[in-house]
Chain A
Amino acid sequence: MTDTTTTPPEIGGIGHSVKRVEDARLIEGQGNFLDDIVLPGMLHMALVRSPVAHARINGIDTEAATAVDGVLAVVTGELMDQHGLAWMPTLSGDTQAVLATDKVRYQGQEVAAVIATDPYAAADGAELVDVDYEMLDAITTPQQSLADGAALIRDEKEGQTDNLAYTWETGDEAATDAAFAAADRVVSLTTHYPRSHPSPLETCGIVADVNSVTGQATIYMTSQAPHAHRTLFALVAGLPEQNIRIVSPDIGGGFGNKVPIYPGYVVATAASLLIGQPVKWVETRTGNLISTGFGRDYYMTGELALTNEGRIQAMRVDMLSDQGAFYSDAQPTRYRAGLFHVCTGSYDFPHAHIKCRGAFTNKAPGGVAYRCSFRITEASYLIERLMQTAADELGIDPAELRLRNFIQPEQFPYETATGFVYDSGDYPTALRKALDAAGYDELRAEQAAARAEGRLVGIGIAHFTEAVGAGPAHTYDIAGLKMIDSAELRVHPTGKAILKLGVKTQGQGHETTFAQIVAEETGIPATDIKVIHGDTDDTPYGLGTYASRSTPVGGAATAMVARKIADKARHIAAHLLEAAPEDIERDADKFHVAGSPDQAVSIQDAAFAAYTNLPEGMEYGLEDVTYYNPPNLTFPYGSYVVVVDVDPETGVWKVRRMVALDDCGVRINPMIVEGQIHGGLTEGFAMSSMQWITFDDDGNCIGSNFMDYLVPTAWETPRFELLETVTPSPHHPIGAKGIGESATVGSPAAFVNAVVDALAHLGVRNIDMPVLPDRVWEAIDSAGG
């Protein structure tokens, strides 16, 4: 492991595997998750959801439900409409029904809500709400949706005459086409990145407590972005922003699922306002899987133009995304398919062109960045699968093909064909290191021997580059809010500190790592720093935690505010040492006069002096705030190698080894970084092997609970071997790039490439995810294997 520490363990700055602060409460069952919150007089809400995918609502009979013992109210779309709240804006500028008034447009859509004194009574009431549905044909694929004569799903939307949700394109079409026309070889791949769901183990929920007398709305909710949510609540519900307090308590995993605002939140808040009592709503697992933000669902055709030697000349992509009934992707405004244009990957070529259309269908809306920075998972998957295809078609070893095309270390900063400026990297070293660890040459020899015996062994490679940490204000905003982030640091007279963040942890360990950044920059021991986050009344503004932006943006803000504090402390130290501030140097934990290490003042002494003994003209106190507008994104990368054994009789495949090298720049806490990688690799394995949401022809969701939506257990999950290189980001204050999502982004292609590689000699070039055993067996069988 690379040692990047500069502080002693007592200080626990960057590079130390400091044990997590948050563990103490969680291992004793003292976490405070949303469902643990109980307020006096709190009521419970259950949602009534549509059992069908597309139908007109002719009426809703709430009489029997209202008569149930304990039921106080049944809320319908009609009632919400009276308050102007039947519809709400989405994060992509569309509108979404809060409670359906005209039609239901997907199975699971919210139709009514029952408010009762306890959850059992609310469930009884929900059973008895009688909705009169007039069935309409369901449109279940984007291809059907855009076909001539398809019924209009969004008939309520002014100006909408077809089912097209958006179109987007980028890159130089003419130059790309010219490169393709001139190419020796063109390879192409058509594949579907299936719909997946983040499904954190804690579902979404809210406790809304609106005081009708004071107008104060205290809203506890499972939110990855409490500040942004406060602003959106203010805009949607018309409540004054200063009276809204969003508290995001301990979060049982987010992965993008807890970024959007869901109808249940709005209804519970409205109900609390109308009834004058707190209202709790905790989603069922089924509700979570069938109605809240899914990820992916892109149909992609990618092409590479190559020379005979395998040098890429250009890339062309045509895509169609299935948006569901409402266009509600959580993504930067300017980009309709997120940051998909990072699909040029780790390779040096001049031209690319990407076209994308999105279609409405009778499925749940969503389009969240499921453990990824906005469509980067799809982009990375496409290029890395295309590299495998090109290797197989051109008969070049897939590792060699990548080495021939990599952006070279000396080319950084490197501007890609689609306009990203990659900050830093050394791709050849990373790939070679991963191949060596896996024993690549021996594996290829073994593969050849196995094939001779009729056994199937596959070796899959993926070398991905991510674009994370959105983002610079000139380019990135969500719903108009610039994607900056903040940190506020207060050092108290005894030298203990409180750090307040605009970002919000969901298990990533911010309470530990952000304290380490401050420890590094100030010398205050990490254990003396309390990190506060998630409460909008008590923290500075920020856009939240998703898209791996906490460390790149919030972490940078933390480093910068700590530097401001350290600088003021240096001035105070100069005053105490009766020296000029320019002559003061800082060690890990003290200030001293240059050349005289004995004449020293600790950060704690300086903190005390900030409240007791200041130089003339200096303001009292030792606290500050920084709003950080990053100059660029950061670009973590990695090289993954997977080895699989495939059973030719059944198509069942097993991962024999998974070697994962990640370069995320400087690692603040190596232990936590590794934990993030383990988790991400597992989700990548899940998507490639079993985890997806599909629908039958009537639009019924298959994958609506954990019996059908498969999350792997410890038994199926491969063992992972981790490696690293460290290439700091030159523009980030501490050189860190972000790691929360790399492994989810990079690993699916590695797993799929491995299975395809096992069958490559039979002529198999693609198997769509999830790579189910029947798909593998059918591929073998139809190849005549």
Chain B
Amino acid sequence: MLPAQFDYVAASSVEEAIAAKAEGGDETRFLAGGQSLLPMMKLRFATPSKLVDINRIAGLDAIEHHNGHLRVGALVRHADIAASDAVSGAVASAAPWISDPLVRNLGTLCGSVAHCDPEGDWNSVLLATGADVIAQGPSGSRSIAIGDFVQDFFTNSLNDDEMVTAVHIPVPSGRSGGSYQKLERKVGDYATVGVAAHLELAADGTISAAGVAMTSVAPINRKATEAEALLVGNAPTAELFAEAGAAAAAAADPRDDVRGSARWKRQVVAAFTGRALAAAAEQAQA
């Protein structure tokens, strides 16, 4: 399985990359880690006429704390996140479970976010933590809330001449915690079910903010808003988390497939939501 022909440009700056992309339009794609794009091109599911390689652009590979958020640059690889001391909560918890160690050495968080694969893990983590996507175009940068960024499966809200330069993940000043629970059939498999949870605690120990989002159980990564609403304002207890799990399961819309029955997947969503919340609470209380 070999890709069809295409033109190739290695950009040396974001501006150059955006210009090259704008010129080629729809048929042109950015090449980041290539761990989603190249497999699709080899199978000829994707046949772009031009690739704009962003790997040689300097300054996009940093993970840094900045104004109350964690900034993850466009060339930060999954492996960088898994190895970083700067990350915590659901982000730290998810990183080791993205694909396999070799794919993690090339694939990027921003590429994954841009790709909008409903089986991708990162968008659930970003939905749960309330992250923003930073998109740069010819006339400057804008910040897009992750919920607005993810439009549909394999569809984001970038303009043809925009590139994701970073993702901003809020870092709460108070007590917080997060976790990502993933059921995969083997290493390298996409999630059968994934649940990201993020909790913030008020001074009295009640939940002041909550994020729950799910992978692979809806046409796109889905936020479990009812579950979140149930949590806020209440004390973190096993009963509450079980209720939130049931709410998340109700919000899921899984399908019967070779990975398992829809009925069972809902059950796993409920169980994993409970487990993710318990782990998040434990972290926040520590």
Contact = CB atoms under 8 A, between A and B. Distances in A.
B4 A127 contact: yes
Chain A interface residue count: which class? 20 to 34
Nearest to B271: A649
Given A286-B1, A649-B271, A713 B186 contact: yes
Contacts of A284: 1
A716 B184 CA distance: 11
A652 B267 contact: no
Given A123-B1, A127-B44, A286-B1, A773 B186 contact: no
B189 A778 contact: no
A694 interface: yes
A345 interface: no
Nearest to A773: B260
Interface string A695-737: 0000000110001101111011000000000000000000000
Contact of B187 (A120, A707, A713): A713
A774 B272 CA distance: 15
Contact of B183 (A710, A713, A773): A773
Interface in B242-286: 258-261, 263-265, 267-268, 271-272
Interface string A195-222: 0000000000000000000000000000
A710 B1 contact: no
Nearest to B261: A774
A123 to B, nearest CB: 4
A264 to B, nearest CB: 15
A710 B271 contact: no
Contacts of B267: 649-650, 777, 781
A660 B16 CA distance: 61
Contacts of A123: 1-2
A127 B1 CA distance: 11
Contacts of B1: 123, 284-286
B95 to A, nearest CB: 16
A391 to B, nearest CB: 28
Contacts of B174: none
A702 B264 contact: no
Contacts of A760: none
Given A124-B4, A649-B271, A650-B271, A778 B264 contact: yes
A139 to B, nearest CB: 20
Contacts of A649: 267, 271
Contacts of B5: 124
A612 to B, nearest CB: 59
A284 B272 CA distance: 37
Given A650-B267, A716-B186, A778 B258 contact: no
A781 B263 CA distance: 11
A772 B187 contact: no
Given A127-B44, A284-B1, A286-B1, A690 B186 contact: yes
A702 B260 contact: no
A358 interface: no
Contacts of A778: 261, 263-264
B188 interface: yes
B186 A650 contact: no
A119 B4 contact: no
A707 B183 contact: no
Contacts of A690: 185-186
A715 B264 contact: no
B268 to A, nearest CB: 5
Given A712-B186, A713-B188, A774 B260 contact: yes
Given A284-B1, A690-B186, A716-B187, A708 B264 contact: no
Which of B183, B260, B263 has the most A CB atoms < 10 Å from its CB? B260
Contact of A777 (B190, B258, B264): B264
A120 B2 contact: yes
Interface string A410-435: 00000000000000000000000000
Contacts of B190: 707
A582 B273 CA distance: 82
A391 B259 CA distance: 31
A123 B41 CA distance: 12
Contacts of A127: 4, 44
A715 B268 contact: no
A554 interface: no
Interface residues of B, number: 24
B81 to A, nearest CB: 19
A715 B2 contact: no
Given A127-B44, A707-B189, A777-B264, A652 B183 contact: yes
A778 B260 CA distance: 10
B115 to A, nearest CB: 15
A657 B271 CA distance: 26
Nearest to B274: A649
Contacts of A286: 1
B39 to A, nearest CB: 9
A222 B217 CA distance: 42
A715 B101 CA distance: 12
A310 interface: no
Contacts of B259: 772, 774
A123 B3 CA distance: 8
A651 interface: yes
A702 to B, nearest CB: 5
B155 to A, nearest CB: 22
Interface in B31-55: 44
Contacts of B271: 649-650
A715 B261 contact: no
Contacts of A775: 260
B183 A650 contact: yes
A528 B173 CA distance: 73
A713 B189 CA distance: 11
Contacts of A716: 186-187
B93 to A, nearest CB: 17
A150 to B, nearest CB: 25
Given A649-B271, A650-B268, A650-B271, A772 B260 contact: yes
A702 B257 CA distance: 10
A286 B261 CA distance: 26
A715 B99 CA distance: 13
Contacts of A777: 264, 267
A649 B260 CA distance: 15
Contact of A710 (B44, B185, B265, B268): B185
A715 B184 CA distance: 12
Given A123-B2, A284-B1, A286-B1, A710 B260 contact: no
Contacts of B2: 119-120, 123
Nearest to A690: B185
A131 to B, nearest CB: 16
Which of A694, A774, A778 has the most B CB atoms < 10 Å from its CB? A774
Contacts of A703: 258
A650 B265 CA distance: 9
Nearest to A705: B43
Interface string B184-198: 011111100000000
A715 B258 contact: no
Interface in A10-31: none
A741 B238 CA distance: 49
A768 B258 CA distance: 14
A426 B267 CA distance: 47
Given A778-B263, A778-B264, 5 more contacts: A120-B2, A127-B4, A649-B267, A713-B187, A773-B264
17 contacts: A123-B1, A127-B4, A649-B267, A650-B267, A650-B271, A651-B264, A652-B183, A703-B258, A708-B258, A712-B186, A713-B187, A716-B186, A772-B260, A774-B264, A777-B264, A777-B267, A781-B267
Interface of A: 119-120, 123-124, 127, 284-286, 649-652, 690, 694, 702-703, 707-708, 710-713, 715-716, 772-775, 777-778, 781
Give 5 nearest A-B pairs by CB, closest first. A774-B260, A774-B264, A649-B271, A123-B2, A713-B187
